[in-house]
């Protein structure tokens, strides 16, 4: 599934088209995706103005003036594309073929900008594992968003906060970092990259970097910085673009070219001075890539 940087890339691609625009027509072409569409889905959105387009963890939030908040999840193969009125051309370079079948165009938003420019935003999802739901109040109170942890962007996530979240936890460090109740939006790819940057093993107990000792404080701060930097680098590069993921303008991200450990089993560790190799193990049914030589 798309991870946080991919979703943020989609948000930034859609923002210039949707924020401030009026939804002149909204068409749901089937009754459901992963879940049924909310009752009166099209009617409650048509004619409304998009006040803001946000993101919480891996969810997009479309804030509607005098209306509900639309919570969107891309699922495994969902993507948005933007088409100018009268043209079906999609800008960008494709590294992986995307679905061009209208059968997979499940939701169509016809929008008019404040300047009167018409566009069409289409949600395409061949596997139909994405979803769109309404939040009637503050989106953070919706069951999909309630209970999510701190965002791994900005300076809120520092060593002290990370240590407090991990204190007393005996689960593997990687598993703890994937717990959305602690840190919202971290996924398998970027946890592997952050742990490599921080020089910490995914197998060690999470609580071992949460002590009062100087070494533990250094480790928690190093990991917090690694998490923030790997997410920021991926957002700047446009996301990892694995398999079906596509940016809002139709192009793909390129951060996959700078993965240090993910999907690099058997390759030499790229850390200067390290003579180890990248290994692949399985944790909780998911692949973990790391260097046992420099990650302790």
**Alpha-carbon span 46 to 219, nearest angstrom:** 51
Q: Does residue 169 have a known ligand-binding role? A: yes
Q: Is residue 118 annotated as a catalytic residue, yes or no?
A: no
Q: Does residue 127 have a known ligand-binding role? A: yes
Catalytic residue among 2, 5, 38, 202: 2
- Range list of β-strands (E), 19-98: 22-28, 50-56, 59-64, 69-73, 79-84
Of 231, 67, 35, the residue nearest 139 (C-alpha):
67
The residues facing 268 across adjacent strands are: 277
Q: Is residue 58 annotated as a catalytic residue, yes or no?
A: yes
**Per the structure block, which two tokens stand in for 27?**
């068409």
The residues facing 55 across adjacent strands are: 60
Q: Is residue 214 annotated as a catalytic residue, yes or no?
A: no
10 and 80 in contact (C-beta within 8 Å)? yes
Catalytic residue among 34, 128, 280, 286: 286
Phi–psi pair at 25, nearest 5 degrees: -155, 135
Of 229, 130, 185, 183, the residue nearest 6 (C-alpha):
185
Catalytic residue among 11, 58, 174, 222: 58
Q: Is residue 286 annotated as a catalytic residue, yes or no?
A: yes
DSSP assignment letter at 115: T
Q: Which residues are catalytic?
A: 2-3, 58, 286
| Binding site listing | 104, 127, 169
Binding residue ranges for DNA: 104, 127, 169
């Amino acid at each position: 599934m798309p991870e946080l940087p991919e979703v943020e890339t989609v948000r930034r691609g859609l923002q210039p088209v949707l924020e401030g625009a009026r939804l002149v027509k909204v068409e749901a072409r089937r009754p459901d995706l992963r879940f049924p569409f909310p009752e009166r889905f099209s009617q409650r959105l048509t004619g409304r103005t998009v006040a803001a387009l946000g993101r919480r963890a891996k969810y997009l939030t479309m804030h509607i003036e005098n209306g509900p908040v639309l919570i969107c999840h891309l699922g495994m193969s969902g993507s948005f594309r933007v088409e100018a009125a009268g043209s079906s051309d999609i800008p960008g370079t494709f590294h992986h073929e995307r679905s061009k079948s209208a059968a997979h165009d499940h939701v169509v938003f016809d929008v008019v900008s404040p300047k009167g420019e018409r566009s069409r935003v289409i949600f395409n999802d061949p596997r139909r594992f994405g979803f769109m739901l309404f939040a009637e109040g503050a989106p953070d109170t919706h069951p999909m968003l309630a209970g999510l942890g701190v965002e791994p962007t900005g300076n809120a996530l520092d060593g002290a906060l990370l240590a407090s979240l991990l204190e007393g936890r005996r689960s593997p460090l990687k598993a703890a970092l994937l717990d959305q109740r602690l840190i919202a939006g971290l996924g398998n790819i970027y946890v592997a990259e952050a742990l490599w940057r921080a020089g910490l093993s995914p197998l060690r107990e999470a609580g071992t970097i949460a002590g009062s000792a100087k070494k533990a404080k250094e480790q928690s701060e190093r990991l917090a910085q690694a998490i923030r930097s790997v997410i920021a680098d991926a957002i700047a590069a446009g996301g990892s673009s694995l398999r079906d993921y596509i940016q809002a303008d139709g192009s793909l991200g390129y951060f996959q070219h700078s993965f240090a450990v993910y999907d690099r089993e058997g390759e030499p560790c790229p850390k200067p001075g390290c003579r180890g190799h990248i290994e692949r193990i399985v944790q909780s049914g998911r692949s973990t890539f790391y260097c046992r030589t420099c990650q302790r």
